[in-house]
């Protein structure tokens, strides 16, 4: 991926990893558009960085995705990078499933990226160079038992990303998978933002941008912190990693 002279759309760009990526890409001179459901979160991001552009989008609503795709392409005709980052993560008890909550996770984490990518591919493919970056998770490769639906959506998005890349191989659109580790954000609540076991957000963004800079043809962005999860099957450490995450998940479930 070329890191300069882009117009970049980041879903979930008002906070967490999305906000970190928005600031980092903007610092490199790119035009950055952040999108999300919460106007307040978007306003806080643009107040801190007035050069960011913000647009509301609910990726769980097909009609809103259609509306948004038309508007963003019209407002930003040079748009050439889509970063599918919006996501939700919840602890679940599978013996007492909240099916509405499960479906909301799937709609945000999986259907949202698929719908928005489908809506914007015709526009992106017209650009001389373009990128779709899907943000998955280390939990796509070794699941955290306490968050089964989140894991499943990220594993599915990983698989979708592989197929998307293959189908677009003869176009101007490259496809990159970003695989974060456990990062200090508010994805699961305030405790995660200060958990010393989680990687500081600034450090994660710095490592990610360094990989994108040093390896412009990278198909996956795997920082050192998440490599043990990404390669657990290959290295024969899956059971060990799964057991470690299961213990952590029991702690999360006991102290939500």
pTM summary value: 0.96
- Does the pLDDT at position 216 exceed 70? yes
Confidence of residue 236 (pLDDT cuts 50, 70, 90): very high
Structure tokens that stand for 61 in this block: 């609503």
Q: Read off the tokens for 219.
A: 């198909």
pLDDT in the model for residue 20:
97
Q: What percent of the chain has pLDDT over 90?
A: 92
Closest residue by Cα to residue 207 from 235, 227, 188: 227
Asked if the model's pLDDT at residue 252 lies above 80, the reply is no
32 and 53 Cβ atoms separated by less than 8 Å: yes
CA angle 51, 13, 135 (to 5 degrees): 135
Among 150, 160, 182, 204, the one annotated catalytic: 150
Q: pLDDT digit string (tens) for 217-233?
A: 999 999 999 999 999 99
150 in active site? yes
List C-alpha distances in Å: 80 to 106, 107, 188.
Answer: 26, 24, 31
| Mean per-residue pLDDT over the chain, rounded | 96
pLDDT per residue as tens digits for the range 11-54: 999 999 999 999 999 999 999 999 999 999 999 999 999 999 99
Domain at 7-254: CATH code: 3.40.50.720
Q: Is the pLDDT of residue 255 over 70?
A: no
Task: List, in sequence order, every residue forming a beta bridge with 9; answer none if it has no partner.
Answer: 33, 82
3-state secondary structure 21-52: HHHHHHHCCCEEEEEECCHHHHHHHHHHCCCC
Range 140-167 average pLDDT? 97
Task: Report d(CA 36, CA 150) in Å as an integer.
Answer: 19
State how far the Cα of 219 lies from the Cα of 165, in Å rounded to an integer: 9
- In tens, the pLDDT along 94-150 reads 998 789 999 999 999 999 999 999 999 999 999 999 999 999 999 999 999 999 999
Candidates 217, 206, 142; CA nearest to 176 is 217
Count of CB atoms situated within 10 Å of the CB of 90: 18
Asked if 52 and 34 count as a contact pair (C-beta separation under 8 A), the reply is yes
Nearest to 80 by CA among 8, 167, 156: 8
CA angle 17/23/26 to nearest 5° reads 135
Query: What pLDDT is stored for residue 251 in this prediction?
Result: 80
């Amino acid at each position: 991926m070329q890191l300069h002279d882009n117009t970049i759309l980041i879903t979930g760009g008002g906070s967490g990893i999305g906000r970190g990526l928005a600031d980092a890409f903007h610092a490199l001179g790119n035009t950055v558009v952040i999108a999300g459901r919460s106007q307040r979160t978007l306003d806080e991001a643009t107040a801190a960085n007035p050069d960011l552009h913000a647009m509301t989008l609910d990726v769980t609503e097909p009609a809103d995705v259609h509306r948004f795709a038309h508007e963003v392409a019209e407002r930003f005709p040079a748009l050439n990078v889509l970063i599918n980052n919006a996501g939700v993560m919840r602890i679940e008890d599978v013996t007492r499933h909240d099916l509405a909550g499960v479906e909301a996770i799937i709609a945000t984490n999986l259907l949202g990226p698929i719908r928005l990518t489908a809506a914007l591919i015709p526009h992106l493919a017209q650009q001389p160079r373009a990128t779709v970056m899907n943000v998955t998770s280390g939990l796509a490769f070794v699941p955290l038992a306490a968050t089964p639906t989140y894991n499943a959506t990220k594993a599915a998005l990983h698989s979708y990303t592989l197929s998307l890349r293959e189908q677009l191989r003869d176009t101007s659109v490259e496809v990159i998978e970003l695989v974060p580790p456990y990062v200090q954000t508010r994805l699961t609540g305030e405790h995660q933002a200060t958990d010393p076991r989680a990687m500081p957000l600034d450090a994660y963004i710095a490592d990610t941008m360094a990989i994108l800079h040093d390896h412009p043809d990278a198909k996956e962005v795997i920082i050192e912190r998440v490599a043990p999860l990404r390669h657990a099957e290959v290295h024969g450490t899956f059971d060990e990693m799964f057991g470690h995450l299961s213990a952590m998940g029991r702690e999360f479930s006991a102290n939500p």
